[in-house]
Amino acid sequence: MAGTILIIGTLDTKAVEFAYIRDLIAARGHATILLDAGVDEPRLTPDVGAARVATAGGSSIEALRAAHDRATALEVMCAGVRVVAIELLAEGRFDGVISLGGSGGTAIATSAMKVLPVGMPKVMVSTMASGDVSAYVDVKDITMMYSVVDVAGLNRLSRRILANAAGAVCGMVEQEIPPAEDHPLLAATMFGVTTPCVTRVRETLEAAGYEVLVFHAVGSGGRAMEALIADGFIAGVADVTTTEWCDELIGGVLSAGPDRLDAAARAGIPQVVSVGALDMANFGAIDTVPVKFADRELYRHNPQVTLMRTTPAENAELGRIVATKLNASTGPTVLFLPLRGVSMIDAEGMPFWSPEADAALFDAIRTTVDPARVELVELDMHVNDPAFADAMTDRLLAMLTAR
């Protein structure tokens, strides 16, 4: 299947390399759109000029050239390329995207890739791809290919790598997904300490004819779920494990950011939510826990992960945050409270059992939640009790059926 591939290029510095990529793609029978994201005069004629990108980013190409400020130019072009990519996508102009570059070129091109839908082919050839690429990829399906050598001209090695990259994006665009029976997609959130609950929820929902995407609530999982909801992929949510808010509030290592719990509320899709694992913040190995937490209750989950019990004061604030977020819901929302414990290790006789801390959480929710927007269901059960999972599942299925 022939398609059109967007090439995001810094054509002031890497014209030869981008011309090579363009010609390889054209040889495969695909059309191309060459978008210039460079600041100085391009050495290869683009289809979409840098002036449009700079204007979309809130400046002008003349101002950027006059300033000779690389940091400002990078910020403007990153912002502008996001806007232009969305505009071109809305016009149906391209089916996949590719770029190449060093740190600056990678930052610009992946800024655009991160605002494109999951499933659209995205290939980035980068000198940065052998290290931590989380800042470039975030939660989108960007294929990072290490350039091995710097992206500086063509040679025997770089021609092979760039040809592989061009073949990769062409192959992705040409790929036809085998037909399959589609089922509505639901999302669920899970942690090791809420696995029994979420496993039962997932199995019941799948038996009812739904496809369930389970997200590991480790920061990236929550962000990925929020992004897919915002992109319209998800029909309903069983957000059992809202623990990422502990790390956002306290400073743990698994935060999903301040927008966690926003997407489903805005989208108006049915959601059942609980307070799974709000008894813990996460850190790395025990010797990495900040000194200020030295006197706190710690639990060595494994050699690489240390859990810290949340205090009553922290739980009260977490309750207010969760309830406030859900109060913004525009669709059917039910919040379930497991009164006998919120995680596998928050149960009588277990290390994080703290009725006082849990009570602070529940009381804050009760006083903050808006009953006109959120139905509050309190069950004298543990979060991992089968009956608790069944109660959440039954309510979600009822809401989905009613739509």
DSSP assignment of 89-123 equals HHTT--SEEEEEESHHHHHHHHHHHTTSPTTS-EE
CA proximity to 160, closest of 27, 22, 21: 21
Q: Read off the pLDDT band of 403 (50, 70, 90).
A: confident
Alpha helices in 138-219 (DSSP H): 156-174, 195-207
pLDDT tens, position by position, 108-167: 999 999 999 999 999 999 999 999 999 999 989 999 999 999 888 899 999 999 999 999
**What's the confidence (pLDDT) of residue 137?**
95
**What's the confidence (pLDDT) of residue 248?**
98
Q: Is the pLDDT of residue 365 over 90?
A: yes
Within 10 angstroms of residue 63's Cβ, the number of other Cβ atoms is 13
The residue assigned the tokens 């669920």 is 188
8 Cβ contact partners less than 8 Å away, ≥ 6 residues apart: 35, 37, 81, 85, 97, 98, 99, 108, 109, 112
Which domains, from first to last, does the chain contain? 4-174 (3.40.50.12020), 185-402 (3.40.50.12030)
pLDDT tens, position by position, 197-228: 999 999 999 999 999 999 999 999 999 999 99
Determine the Cα–Cα distance for residues 203 and 190; give it in Å rounded to an integer. Answer: 13
pLDDT tens, position by position, 64-77: 999 999 999 999 99
Q: Read off the pLDDT band of 179 (50, 70, 90).
A: confident
Determine the Cα–Cα distance for residues 356 and 350; give it in Å rounded to an integer. Answer: 14
**What's the confidence (pLDDT) of residue 244?**
98
Q: Is the pLDDT of residue 286 over 80?
A: yes
pLDDT tens, position by position, 318-346: 999 999 999 999 999 999 999 999 999 99
Angle, nearest 10°, between helix axes 195-207 and 386-402?
Answer: 40
337 Cβ contact partners less than 8 Å away, ≥ 6 residues apart: 274, 275, 362, 365, 376, 377, 378, 379
Determine the Cα–Cα distance for residues 243 and 190; give it in Å rounded to an integer. Answer: 9
**What's the confidence (pLDDT) of residue 329?**
97
pLDDT tens, position by position, 180-199: 777 899 999 999 999 999 99
- Mark 4-23 as b/e (b = at least 16 C-beta within 10 Å): bbbbbbbbbbbbebbbbbbe
Q: Is the pLDDT of residue 1 over 70?
A: no
